Structure 1
Amino acid sequence: MGAPLSAWPLENFGTYKYLLYGPFVGKVLYEWFYGEEHSYYNLSWCLHLLILSGLRGLIHVLWGSYSHMFFLTRNRRIVQKGVDFKQIDKEWDWDNFLILQALVASMACYMFPFLQHLPLWNVKGLIVALVLHVGVSEPLYYWVHRKFHGDYLFTHYHSLHHSSPVPESFTAGNATLLEHLIMTVIIGIPILGASLMGYGSASMIYGYVLIFDFLRCLGHSNVEIVPHQLFEKLPFLRYVIYTPTYHHLHHSDKDTNFCLFMPLFDSLGNTLNKNSWQSHKLLSSGSGNGDMVPHFVFLAHIVDVSSSMHAQFVYRSFASLPYTTRFFLLPGLPITFLVLLAMWAWSKTFLVSFYYLRGRLHQTWVVPRCGFQYFLPFATEGINNQIEQAILRADKIGVKVISLAALNKNESLNGGGKLFVDKHPNLRVRVVHGNTLTAAVILNEIPQDVKEVFLTGATSKLGRAIALYLCQKKVKVLMLTLSTDRFQRIQKEAPPENQSYLVQVTKYQAAQNCKTWIVGKWITPREQYWAPRGTHFHQFVVPPILSFRKDCTYGDLAAMRLPEDVEGLGCCEYTMDRGVVHACHAGGVVHSLEGWSHHEVGAIDVNRIDLVWEAALKHGLRPVSSFTQKEN
């Protein structure tokens, strides 16, 4: 059993904890329908609490979003690590304190009825609240905080807050119940004190609470935004306001920098870290944590407007789960679309996530183009220009490998990346489409005793490689294509003794006795009807086909799980599970880890499929298809 008041009563409620706001909502609705009419200047105190809780939560979310805008903050990040799934899960219920303080505030309103009828504005109240904060809240917090660093209190209470390796705005709320009860007292003293003196006002409460949360999030943001020139011109401000660097030093050296917001109290208590100002100057100037050059870059793209909200800098908790369309996304669609327009106008690639593998930095850059744009003829040149600029930028800063995702390597767009390699023959960065490993994943799903397969999308890049590989294994491949010329070109690539294993078919009826379908072109439920009972649909088509047949099984898109020692990974790649990436992404990772010096563009080299597969397994990557695992 844990220490008293260390656990939250809400921790097992899940999302049902928000029902605790229900009485406030009910009272507001009751007053609106049955009570007196409220003017703008005399809103219900319950409505004030709901609005205030929403604004406080928004402050934390916006600070969290900014911290994850790596394309803006990477040079001024204090801890150069990614926030992993473990930290995200640990801080999942960071907003418990908002519910707690709303409930405490409601009790205060019943104990002190005059709080329910405060004026909108009172300048004296703001001054009194500031004096009480500096004179009471700051020293009280400093004293209590130092006590929490004693052996017993730290072990049983405060260690939770310090267990987050990368401080963020959500870390500010990640603390035990006892700590937040004390914090409620500290934040309530100036508000209640000013109100008891007759100087309370709604603006004072809103202003004090929101500024309090803003500064708490500032200190935990992991991004240094306070310019050192400000302290050089006005030295006294060093003791008036802390910085993210100052607070980070408390997390790295737990015997220093205990203040709430004002380093003055650390100076008076002789707990001021001697490196505070020097470290702040280095980080705020961008020279303390120079932009690290990644070994590998995955150049992704936006699938659609809705999925673009799955980025870490929108809301990290949502990004840490496989993408699905959710109801709460709908209100944000108009804003998201406007942001996308701005990103398109900016015409730059954006760093959206990173992780470390084998001590090497891997980054994901995104081209701000939606999936439908790749199929617009007039957009081809602009998209290729953006991809080309990303490749040249990667080459300039010293990236070893850049891998192209899905539509960024579309054959009709740039020949699987060949366009850029031909245009820039002296590239040092290796351009990789990763499809060799994609083919390997699909092929290793197929049971070894299979003698016949039906292949759609048969003349595509992947279809061609799969067909040529299987025919060499003496597997009959029914290639669905209407183009006899393209079929014959592929057939001629096969060894003469294996060419008879490649058979052109033009209708789905030809596969009505074949139980192994490899789908590389989207097929309708009607077309699936021709598959016999017990068929397994392997697939490399995006989006995946509908699981229409209940008497058949459906494979996953080609993907691989990253090794267990990956660090700093805190977001899911589109609909993939945690730690799982598309096979083309994994192919680029393997290319980087192996240190291969060739470009992987254009047609797939069939002779390298087994080599790439073995290299992936050697480096700890594993297939995730349930069918593969079952067969193996």
Structure 2
Amino acid sequence: EKEANLTYHLIFPFLMTRVLHNQIWISVSRYRTAKGKNRIVDKGIDFEQVDRESNWDDQIILNGILLYLTNMIMPGASHLPLWRSDGFIIVILLHTGPVEFLYYWLHRALHHHFLYSRYHSHHHSSIATEPITSVIHPFAEEVAYFLLFAIPLMTVMFTGTASIAAIFIYITYIDLMNNMGHCNFELVPKWVFSTFPPLKFLMYTPSYHSLHHTQFRTNYSLFMPMYDYLYGTVDKSSDDLYETSLKRQEESPDIVHLTHLTTTDSIYHLRLGFASLASKPYAFKWYFTIAMWPVSCWSAVFTWFYGHTFVSESNTFNNLKLQSWVVPRYTMHYLLQREKKDLNYLIEEALLEADSKGAKVVSFGLLNQHEELNGNGELYIQRHPQLRIRLVDGSSLAAAVVVNSIPQETTQVLLTGRISKVGYAIALALCQKGVQVAAMNEDEYQKLQHSDCQFGKNLVLAENYDQKIWLVGEGLTDKEQLKATKGTVFVPFTQFPPKKLLKDCYYHTTPAMVAPKSLDNIHSCENWLARRVMSAWRVAGIVHGLEGWNVHECGQ
């Protein structure tokens, strides 16, 4: 009875371990492919693929249901010991023989045009694979695979040689090999095969299975290529691709966008985090925050001590290689005066690294270019005048996006919050166009009046708040926002969007632009922005690189 309870109660923890195992593979694969080292296929991933593969955990849920039912119904599936050597050997032999053999011929049959068009084409829709691509199949195909993998497990149960270790290790082995075969970077070192040459027939590599997704008619084997060798379906370029992928070095970016974490939940919304969350605009969910708070706390502690930026995303556009690097700090760190020195050190280190890798442009995202932190990036130019890279704060493009989003017939706007470099540029452009700009804050109004810019008579101090367009800067309070009249349009010129307190008003997103279709490998959202929408600050760096401008665009 005690052993039966152990078997039953271990199923759920085992399922959670499988989820964690798969998530680790997803994160590591996305990190490695973003850096480019040992990457196999260069084709990008899109949102369609992410959506198609978002139900990867369904097979774990189905597997869990079957394990519970089997444990309760089958006599040989309960009261299992932790370990039995004979059962473990039987599982190995049955997988190597019947399972691999039957899978090979089932797989070849699935590539017949009748079955391929109705079933297997769904799996092959992903040319550039991710670890979770391995379990994305139509339901009928999933059932067929479950029946195949059940052969060793059912055999040991019927023969009374089953053990908890044999069942859990076998399922973990299937997960491991599935994830490895679809991770899109080569990780099996050459010494493995040189030390034990027959292993070449008993274990495939990521590049070996990747060829099946690009060539379709070769490399059909499950995990052991021996049946491909036996029946002559090995792709002739398997060894060459393996060698080439192992030799491939980390990519050097042309343009780097330097961003940072925002809330403690934002780490899950990174491309390296949860794929389904990263593919949607960030939105606070209280239940998710509560459920994940232990992990969030540990990640916050880890980022406090981790002292190096990391690559989170890579894209290509017009032969330019783009990368997004993340400073491992949250927004709360940028608001603490004592963190200023540490933040500048991390940013400077990233700039010098990008410079050493031959990058042409670095654009500053979010608070990495805050005026109080580094004077909109001017600090780094003063400290490192020998920098070959060009620094871009994106203020000009951000201001242009805001100005062009205001309707032509507008005659007056209200300028709220603290006035940044972008705010100055917007106010000046609107005043020169004949639009009256009313400043809500008297201190900010005086700063504008005493600046070198010629605002003329169109800059005034606000006497009321009935303007229908509010330009929102940093520090707009809830009390001030509640003064807006019905139908007011809030247009932020900040890096962060304002709170949406009024249901009868309209809120624009932060300055941003839609990415062209030729910009490849976009499958995650930039913070709260919609799909394939990029912040103006990020776009500014790309434009700077495309135009080949040899000047900095930052500072005061």
TM-score over 0.5 for the pair: yes
- Pair 1:319 & 2:278 matched: yes
What residue is the counterpart of 1:456 in the other structure?
A: 416
Contact 1:534 1:551 in 2 (8 A): yes
- For 2:65 and 2:56, the matched residues in 1 are separated by 16
Q: Residues 550 and 214 of structure 1: is their aligned pair in 2 closer, same or farther, counting only changes over 3 Å?
A: closer
Q: 2:500 aligns with which of 547, 551, 556?
A: 547
For the Cα contact (< 8 Å) 2:431–2:456, is it kept in 1? yes
Distance change >3 Å, CA 470–CA 431, structure 1 → 2: same
Aligned residues: 554
Contact 2:496 2:510 in 1 (8 A): no
Cα drift, residue 108 of structure 1 = 4.7
Distance 1:249 1:78 in 2: 9
Paired letter, 2:220: F
The aligned residue for residue 292 of structure 1 is: 251
Q: Give the conservation status (yes or no) of the 8 Å contact 2:26–2:130.
A: yes
* Structural mapping, 1:34-53, within 5 Å: 39=2, 41-43=3-5, 47-53=9-15
Matched, 1:500 2:457: yes
CA distance in structure 1 between the partners assigned to 2:473 and 2:119 by the alignment? 55
Distance change (3 Å), C-alpha of 1:554 and 1:73:
closer
Deviation digits for residues 409-466 of structure 1, max 9, x if unmatched?
0111111111112332332221101111111111112222322222124642122111
**Structure 2: distance between partners of 1:520 and 1:449:** 22
SS at match of 1:42: helix
C-alpha separation in 2, matches of 1:481 and 1:193: 81
Q: Distance in 2 between matches of 1:110 and 1:525?
A: 57
1:353: Cα distance to partner?
A: 0.9
| Alpha-carbon shift at residue 329 of structure 1 (Å) | 4.2
* Percent of pairs with identical residues: 36
Q: Which amino acid aligns with 2:259?
A: A
Could you tell me which residue of structure 2 aligns to residue 481 of structure 1?
442
Counterpart check, 1:309 vs 2:268 = yes
- Report matched runs for 1:419-430 at 5 Å: 419-430=379-390
- Of 274, 277, 289, the match for 2:239: 277
Query: Structure 1's 158 and 484: CA in aligned 2 closer, same or farther, altered over 3 A?
Result: closer
Q: 1:332-358: per-residue Cα shift (whole Å, max 9, x none)?
A: 333344334434434111100122223
Deviations 1:317-341 (A, max 9, x none): 1111111223234343333443344
Please tell me the residue identity of whatever aligns with 2:475.
Answer: W
Distance 1:54 1:334 in 2: 15
Unaligned runs of 5+ in 2: none
CA distance in 1, matches of 2:502, 2:228: 68
Deviations 1:586-630 (A, max 9, x none): 222222222222211023xxxxxxxxxxxxxxxxxxxxxxxxxxx
SS of 1:477's equivalent? strand
**Preserved CA contact (<8 Å) 1:53 1:102:** yes
Q: How does 1:502-517 map to 2 (within 5 A)?
A: 502-503=459-460, 505=461, 510-517=463-470
Structure 1 residue aligned with 2:288: 328
Q: Give, as a single letter, the amino acid of the residue that structure 2 aligns with 1:140.
A: L
Match of 1:129 in 2: 91
Task: State the distance in 2 between where 1:338 and 1:100 align.
Answer: 31
Q: Judge conservation of contact 1:172–1:217 (CA < 8 Å) in 2.
A: yes
Taking the aligned partners of 2:445 and 2:52, their CA distance within structure 1 comes to 58
| Cα-to-partner distance string for 1:193-237 (whole Å, 9 max, x where unaligned) | 122222112221111111122111111111222111111122121
1:571 lines up with 2:524 in the alignment: yes
157-166 or 103-112: bigger deviation: 103-112
Change (3 A) 1:599 1:517: same
**Contact 2:91 2:152 (8 Å CA) reproduced:** yes
SS across alignment from 1:251:
helix
What secondary structure does 2:119 align onto? helix
What does residue range 308-457 of structure 1 map to in structure 2 within 5 Å?
308-326=267-285, 327-457=287-417
- How has the CA–CA distance of structure 1 residues 157 and 389 changed in structure 2, closer, same or farther, with 3 Å as cutoff? same
* TM-score using structure 1 length: 0.82
* Separation in 1, partners of 2:482, 2:145: 63
The answer to which structure, 1 or 2, has the higher relative contact order (CA under 8 A, 6+ apart) is 2
- Identify which range, 529-538 or 179-188, moves more after superposition: 529-538
| RMSD (Å) for aligned C-alpha atoms | 2.4
Question: 1:48 Cα deviation (Å)?
Answer: 4.8
SS at match of 2:5: coil
Q: Counterpart amino acid of 1:472?
A: Q
Q: 1:31 corresponds to which residue? A: none
Sort the Cα spacing of 1:419 and 1:112 in 2 relative to 1 into closer, same or farther, 3 A. same
Deviates more, 1:235-244 or 1:553-562: 553-562
User: CA 1:599/1:465 → structure 2, altered by over 3 Å: closer, same or farther?
Assistant: same
SS for the counterpart of 2:497 is: coil
- C-alpha distance in structure 1 between counterparts of 2:543 and 2:199, whole Å: 50
Q: Measure, in 2, the Cα distance between the counterparts of 1:93 and 1:553.
A: 34
Q: Is the 8 A contact 2:419 2:474 kept in 1?
A: no
Determine helix, strand or coil for the equivalent of 2:258: strand
Aligned equivalent of 2:555, options 599, 602, 608: 602
**Structure 1: distance between partners of 2:57 and 2:334:** 40
1:62 aligns to what?
24
460 and 189 in structure 1: CA distance in 2 versus 1, 3 angstrom threshold: same
When residues 124 and 534 of structure 1 are mapped into structure 2, their CA distance, relative to the original with a 3 A threshold, is: closer
Q: Secondary structure at the match of 2:37?
A: helix
CA shift for structure 1 position 486: 2.6
Post-superposition Cα deviations, 1:103-149, rounded to whole Å, max 9, x if no partner, equal 55556556633323333321211011111111211111112212222
The code of the aligned residue for 1:183 comes to Y
Structure 1 residues 271 and 555: CA distance shift in structure 2, 3 A:
closer
Deviation at 1:552, TM superposition (A): 3.5
Letter in 1 for 2:470: W
Q: Which residue identity does 2:48 align to in structure 1? A: K
How far, CA to CA, are the matches of 1:334 and 1:373 in structure 2? 20
CA distance in 2, matches of 1:484, 1:45: 71
The answer on whether the counterparts of 1:82 and 1:354 sit within 8 Å (CA) in structure 2 is: no
Distance 1:552 1:331 in 2: 33
Structure 1, 223-232 or 452-461: larger mean CA deviation: 452-461
- Asked whether the 8 Å contact 2:281–2:529 carries over to 1, the reply is yes
Would you say the 8 A contact 1:242–1:263 is kept in 2?
yes
Q: Which residue of 1 aligns with 2:201?
A: 239
The answer (yes or no) to whether the contact 1:87–1:164 under 8 Å persists in 2 is yes
SS at 1:564's partner residue?
Answer: coil
> Which whole-Å CA distance do the structure 1 matches of 2:208 and 2:33 have between them?
23
Deviation of the 1:67 alpha carbon: 0.6
Residues 293 and 397 of structure 1 are in contact (CA less than 8 Å); yes or no, is this contact kept in structure 2?
Answer: yes
Q: 1:102 to 1:347 in 2, by over 3 A?
A: closer
**Residue of structure 1 equivalent to 2:101:** 139
Deviations 1:373-401 (A, max 9, x none): 11222221221121112112212212121
After TM superposition, give the deviation of residue 73 of structure 1 in Å.
5.8
Task: Verify the 8 A CA contact 1:458 1:464 in the aligned structure 2.
Answer: no
Q: 2 CA distance for matches of 1:73 and 1:463?
A: 36
Q: Residue type matched to 1:317 in 2?
A: S
Say if 2:198 is the partner of 1:198. no
One-letter code of the match for 2:379?
L
Match of 1:174 in 2: 136
Larger CA deviation: 273-282 vs 429-438 = 273-282
CA drift of 1:72 comes to 8.6
Deviations 1:220-269 (A, max 9, x none): 11122211111112212111211111111222222322211112222222
- Alignment-mate amino acid for residue 323 of structure 2: Q
Q: Say which is worse superposed, 220-229 or 402-411, in terms of deviation.
A: 220-229
Shift of the alpha carbon at 1:522? Answer: 2.7
